[in-house]
Amino acid sequence: MADAPRQDRASSVSVRGLPDRGRVVCHGFIESVTYAPASQVAAFTAVVVDHDAPRIKAPGAKTSGAAAVASASAAAGAAQQAPSAAPVAGSRRHRPFGPKDRLRVVWLGRRRIPGVDAGTELRLQGMVTVRDGLPTMFNPRYEILSRQEEQ
């Protein structure tokens, strides 16, 4: 049996360019991972952002489900309440990620996937659907393209 032809980055779609539904090949960096508690059904979840998107979290940052929801809602609340100020000279203002700037990837039946951590670059292939307003891919094929070096 011959191996499938390797696809380059040019043939894959960015996270921002994902359709609402359908089979796609995309690539990006893992922004965060969520480990399900032992009392819940096994599911390993990662949030993937575009390769050219600014990174908000430090590589290696891991969050639990409750902490991720709390930090995301706190950040959203702060962004809505904070008045818009002029950027300080020399600083870069990043626009906050919206639902179309992120891809949630869920591996059902898995508690952890070796090599898949925050900061890792992946190529994903699978079916995309929208769940809870966020593009989601369940049990995709994946290829680890690069990893952050341990500091």
What does DSSP assign to residue 111? S
Is there a contact between 28 and 15 (Cβ–Cβ < 8 Å)?
yes
- Structural domains of the chain sorted by starting position, each given as residue range(s) with its CATH number in brackets: 21-77+107-149 (2.40.50)
Task: Count Cα neighbours of 118 within 13 Å in the Cβ-side half-sphere.
Answer: 15
Q: How does pLDDT run along the chain (151 residues), one tens digit per residue?
A: 444 445 555 578 888 889 999 999 999 999 999 999 999 999 999 999 986 654 444 444 454 444 444 444 444 444 444 444 444 444 444 444 556 789 999 999 999 999 999 999 999 999 999 999 999 999 999 999 987 665 5
CA-based nearest residue to 11, from 28, 26, 31, 29: 26
Helix, coil or strand: residue 10: helix
